[in-house]
Amino acid sequence: MKLQAVIPPQLLLAANTKPFMTKSVIQKPSFARFSAILSSAILLLTGCDASTPSEQTNPYSSVNFPVYIAAENNPGGDTTVSIKPFASFELPSANMDRRLRPDFHAGKALANQPWVKAPTITTARDGLGPIYNARTCLMCHIKGGKGFIPADANTALMGTLVRLSKPGKVTAGNVKAGVNPHPVYGDQIQGQSISLAHQLRHSQKPDTLKHDVAPEAYTYLNWVEHTFTYPDSYQVNLRKPELEFRNLGYGAIGENTLFSLRVAPAIAGMGLIELIAQKDINALSDANDANQDGISGRVNWVWDNKLQATAPGRFGLKSNKATLDMTVAGAFANDVGITSSLSPSQPCTKKQVTCLSQPNGNDKNEVELSDELLELVVNFNRNLAPVNRRNPNNDIVMQGREIFYQTGCQQCHNPQFKTLPSTLNPHLGEQIIWPYSDFLLHDLGPDLADNRPDFQATGSEWRTAPLWGVGMLEAVNGSGVLLHDGRARTIEEAILWHGGEALSVKNKFVHLPKQKRDALVKFVNSL
């Protein structure tokens, strides 16, 4: 029995999981948007059969949530890889043609092997810095997962970025950057440099370092802790980072500077995100909160060198990059110090004269990375596959799934999209994917705010973090830290930091009995 023959799509929002209900439902507008996508997805699943409607027994029956379907267990559709035998976000799409694998591995090598200082005999791998954050992509996106963040105040940041800028309206010359960079330090603190003397700084006298290119600063975190108490008196310890810069290489940064700490996000599934139709993202946006549910969701319009135009952003923690090519090119230039045609400037500013005078690794095109090599790394990122879910049918996970929808998490963590067809990567096209994000900006309130605008994103807006793979972060590389600055050590902590547009949803969570809170966390952990 095909679904569309039996149940009108709007009734697929049944109130029970197994067997699902077809009782009348009151749809919230935000949910209707999701239902349209979900129902079309279900209709594609030819093998999926509808059970006969039965009397409902589920305690959450008054709430709308989509019927559970087995496809949810493969968040990346047919690209999904099994976490067995290794927990890894570094595997290529499961359905990728074998003939495409050599390119994937070539891209991985470029993302994984250390870049070196120019000049060297290897022209393909030189050009590091002069100032940089890490020698490779995967030193931050460790095994394709999250970056490390130090838990103590004595370890300098390595796999984490600090962005900075000056407040006020973006000046005419900076429109393409989306921020007013700091006149000396630029828009990112690079904590490393190619200077051997600096790397050996403990054994050097400061004046011997004078003519070398200095790293911009070493950044340390001081964690400020407080205790959150639930209405049922359970307590959770929360921590928030404060930045401390030591060994500033180019003088005082000065008052009136905006900073933003960013931990490297997991990068599996980028090619699928790239193939989400913009109209599907726009359909979830309610910029002026016309439906008055307290949740808006805005598109960030950003400059893109590849498109040579302003375009809607979807990559980056404030959706400040429109295309994957620009995201990767930007990472090469700012994080590793490798220039390319899409991101041709070194991270040195005009005020950093020694930095600008260092030899570079330019090839005949006057940039350090050719378009061919850039494309290989983009392609590697594009094909990193999401992992399958664990224990999706567990009773408590199923209960947690209901609570997820009941409390309204899905209003931002939009479960599902269908990717566009792709001629370049047909295996990534027309997949039903479950990223649990709307890729829109939401104001999450003052506690999470970095107060640093980025293109149209305000200082308190963040892109909804995708939740696919979130339960595997710790297993993949030992770093399960959550939220933009890695302050949350658990899913529960991450939820408790939600405010602003998510305040009423957070409050619903807080008022649940502990067993249900745990069930929700267990569901999120199964993603």
Distance between CA 446 and CA 222 in Å, rounded? 19
Q: Find the binder of ligand HEC among 182, 509, 522, 525 (CB under 6 A).
A: 509
33 contributes a contact to ligand HEC by CB under 6 A: no
Q: Which stretch binds ligand HEC (CB under 6 A): 89-97, 210-218, 249-257, 494-502?
A: 494-502
Distance between CA 276 and CA 383 in Å, rounded? 15
**Pair of tokens at residue 445:** 């309130």
Residue 42 or 90 with smaller CB distance to ligand HEC: 90
Q: Which stretch binds ligand HEC (CB under 6 A): 77-85, 219-227, 257-265, 279-287?
A: 257-265
* Cis amide bond preceding 415, omega within 30: no
C-alpha pair distances (Å), 134 with each of 31, 116, 188, 189 = 42, 11, 13, 12
Q: Find the binder of ligand HEC among 15, 37, 137, 373 (CB under 6 A).
A: 137
63 contributes a contact to ligand HEC by CB under 6 A: no
Binding mask 285-304 for ligand HEC (x = CB under 6 A): ----------x---------
331 contributes a contact to ligand HEC by CB under 6 A: yes
Distance between CA 527 and CA 525 in Å, rounded? 5
In whole angstroms, the minimum distance from the beta carbon of 320 to ligand HEC comes to 6
146-175: which residues touch ligand HEC (CB under 6 A)? 147, 159, 161
12 contributes a contact to ligand HEC by CB under 6 A: no
C-alpha pair distances (Å), 43 with each of 1, 133, 422, 506 = 11, 47, 21, 33
C-alpha pair distances (Å), 120 with each of 88, 114, 116, 117, 126 = 33, 13, 8, 7, 6
328 contributes a contact to ligand HEC by CB under 6 A: yes
Residue 3 or 137 with smaller CB distance to ligand HEC: 137
C-alpha pair distances (Å), 148 with each of 156, 215, 525 = 11, 20, 19
428 contributes a contact to ligand HEC by CB under 6 A: no
68-87: which residues touch ligand HEC (CB under 6 A)? none
Q: Where is 278: in which H helix or E strand?
A: helix 278-284
Q: Which stretch binds ligand HEC (CB under 6 A): 93-101, 326-334, 341-349, 418-426?
A: 326-334
Contacts of 186 (CB under 8 A, 6+ apart): 164, 347, 348, 349
DSSP notation for 308-337 = TEEEE--BSTTS-BSSHHHHHHHHIIIII-
Distance between CA 462 and CA 513 in Å, rounded? 29
Q: Find the binder of ligand HEC among 377, 387, 472, 512 (CB under 6 A).
A: 377
First-to-final CA distance of the chain? 29
Residue 3 or 264 with smaller CB distance to ligand HEC: 264
The radius of gyration computed from the CA coordinates of the chain, to the nearest angstrom, equals: 24
Q: Find the binder of ligand HEC among 286, 501, 519, 525 (CB under 6 A).
A: 501
In whole angstroms, the minimum distance from the beta carbon of 86 to ligand HEC comes to 21
Estimate the crossing angle of helix 514-525 against helix 395-407, to 10 degrees: 100
213 contributes a contact to ligand HEC by CB under 6 A: no
Q: Find the binder of ligand HEC among 33, 298, 442, 489 (CB under 6 A).
A: 442
Q: Find the binder of ligand HEC among 194, 217, 276, 409 (CB under 6 A).
A: 409
Residue numbers of the site for ligand HEC (CB under 6 A)? 111, 133-134, 137, 139-141, 147, 159, 161, 262-265, 267, 270, 295, 315-318, 327-328, 331-332, 335-336, 377, 381, 407-409, 411-413, 442, 444, 448, 462, 464-465, 467, 470, 482-484, 491, 494-495, 498, 501-502, 505, 509, 520, 524
